[in-house]
Each structure stands twice: as structure tokens, then as C-alpha cells.
Amino acid sequence: KSGEWEAALKVLAEMEAAGVAPNVVAYSAVISALEKKGMWERALELLDAMRSRGVAPNKFTFSAAISACEKTGQWARAEQLFLDMKEANIEADVVCYSALISAYGKSGLVNRAIEKLNEMWVAGLEPNVVSYSACITACEKAGQIEKAFELVEEMKAVNVEPNLISYNALISACARVADWERAVSVLKMLRESRHHPDIFSFNAVISACSKCGQWETAVDLLNEMREALIEPDIISLSGCAIACIKGEKDDLATAFLDEMVRMGMAPHPSLIRALGYVET
């Protein structure tokens, strides 16, 4: 809730005003509240404040601070906190490693992400689905599709079941390099798993199809979305329109533009120009 971090800070201030020195548990709780709101700067300020008052952070404090940085892609700050943790002789757990890997993943730092993944095994820790999914996300952002597929195979080999985030990251990796056939094959894998495709899954495959002019597949996917009661958005409809334009199906593309306008969406000007579209 929006007021939780303010309430947590207020309790901390009241403790100090009453002459009660907050301990590591109190500080960690407030840093965790700030982390949940993505307020990494405030979290790090509080971490510095507790250190200056002679309160040593513990694993939970560092974990919350690293997660706060991860949420906003502050990978360099997260990395420094991880190093600080090691210097304090505090052993990182799976949560700490996964948060750092996620920070790397959001910035597409594949080598750093995989290095930490391997380091987990050396430290006697078993990477979980969050760790692997973050690495796959790093591969997606860096366009390293083959490595992304290798990671999914590694997950299966060590009995870590890919989740929806893992599959969506892999589909996005395919879409980034316009590999529509593999995007479709990953969607099939997702359907056959115990997870269900969401709007991000469908949109990523439609995006891959749009880049290659695979209009029939894109339209089939849109229909499948509707059957699954997933409401198409502007990304879905624009992707289908682009696929139809590339497939020289201008009438169908115009129909998608009409639908966007009826739904109050604003089609990209390039789509309108490509079809010489006039609202009907």
C-alpha cells in the first residue's frame, strides 16, 4: 500500500524521538518497505544512516536494498551492495543473487548475469526460476537468442520448471531477432506447460510475425486471444495491421485500424500513412 513506507519511516522517527535506538530489524523493515515502492535512493540513504549510527546491516537488510536497486535497474548500485555484503562476511543467499541477476537482466548485461548464475552453483546454492528467468531476460535485451534457449534447456536439466516469465522472455528474445517460427514454437511449449499464455505472450509472437509479414499466423493468434477472453490491445492490433500491410492485405489491415479507432486507441501515424487511412 502507498502509505506503508511513510508509516514505517514514522515509526523509526518516533523510536529515535523517544530515545530508543532502532536496531537492525527496525531498519531492515523500513528498507524493505521502501524497496516495495522502488524507492532505491531513500533505501540507500537509510542504509548509510544505520551504518553511521553503528548498526551493522544483516543479510535481510542487504537483500532489501539490492532488491530496491533491482526494481529500478540500478545494477551498478546493486552490484556495489553485493560487494559490500561480501566484505562484511555475510553470505549471500538465493534471493540476493537473484535480485542482482535481475538488475543485470534489465540492462541486458548477459555476461555479468551468467557469471553470477555460475557463482551460485560454486557457492553451493541452487539457482531458482527467478535467477534463470532474469538471465533469459538479459539475453533477450542483448539479442542473444541462442544463449536464451540454452538457459531454458539448462533449467529443465536441473529440474527448474520455466514459468510464464521465463517463457515470455524467451518469446521476446525470438521477437527481437524476428524469428517468428521459434516464437510460435515457444508459445506451443507454453501452452503445453501448466502455465497459460497472457497478453504479453501473444503480443510478443504477433510482433515477431509482424516483422516478417506473417499475417495469417498473426491473425490466428489474435483470434486465439479473443477465444481465451484476452482483450487485444493496441500492440496486438497494430502488430496484426503491420503483418497485413507487409502481406499486402491492406483491406484487413484497415479493418484493424478501424477497430483501434472504435476502441478509442491512437494508431501510430506510420500505420495511418502506410494505408492512406481515413476514419470511417
> What distance in Å separates the CA atoms of residue 78 and residue 42, rounded to the nearest whole number?
14
pTM of the predicted protein model = 0.84
Grid cell for residue 161:
520448471
Grid cell for residue 108:
541486458
Please report the pLDDT score of residue 269 as a whole number. Answer: 78
Cell 542473444, residue? 144
171 contacts 183 by C-beta, under 8 angstroms: yes
Burial of 17 (0-12, 13-18, 19+ CB in 10 A): exposed
> What distance in Å separates the CA atoms of residue 60 and residue 175, rounded to the nearest whole number?
37
162 contacts 129 by C-beta, under 8 angstroms: yes
Cell 520448471, residue? 161
Residues whose CB falls within 8 Å of the CB of residue 203, separated by 6 or more in sequence, listed in order: 233, 235, 236, 239
| DSSP string covering 91-129 | ---HHHHHHHHHHHHHTT-HHHHHHHHHHHHHTT----H
How many angstroms separate the first and last alpha carbons of the chain?
44
Q: In Å, how far are 14, 93, 117, 118 from 124, measured between CA atoms?
A: 42, 10, 11, 10
Can you give the pLDDT of all 280 residues of the chain as single tens digits? 445 666 666 666 666 667 667 789 888 888 888 888 888 898 999 899 889 889 999 999 999 999 999 988 899 999 999 999 999 999 999 999 999 999 999 888 999 999 999 999 999 999 999 999 999 999 999 999 999 999 999 999 999 999 999 999 999 999 999 999 999 999 999 999 999 999 999 999 999 999 999 999 999 999 999 999 999 999 999 999 999 999 999 999 999 999 999 999 988 877 777 777 545 5
Please report the pLDDT score of residue 38 as a whole number. Answer: 81
> What distance in Å separates the CA atoms of residue 2 and residue 106, rounded to the nearest whole number?
25
Please, what is the Cα angle at 255 between 252 and 261, to 5 degrees? Answer: 150
Question: How many CB atoms within 10 Å of residue 147?
Answer: 17
Q: Please provide residue 261's backbone torsions phi and psi, each rounded to the nearest 5 degrees.
A: -65, -45
Of 148, 260, 154, nearest to 204 by C-alpha is 148
277 contacts 271 by C-beta, under 8 angstroms: yes
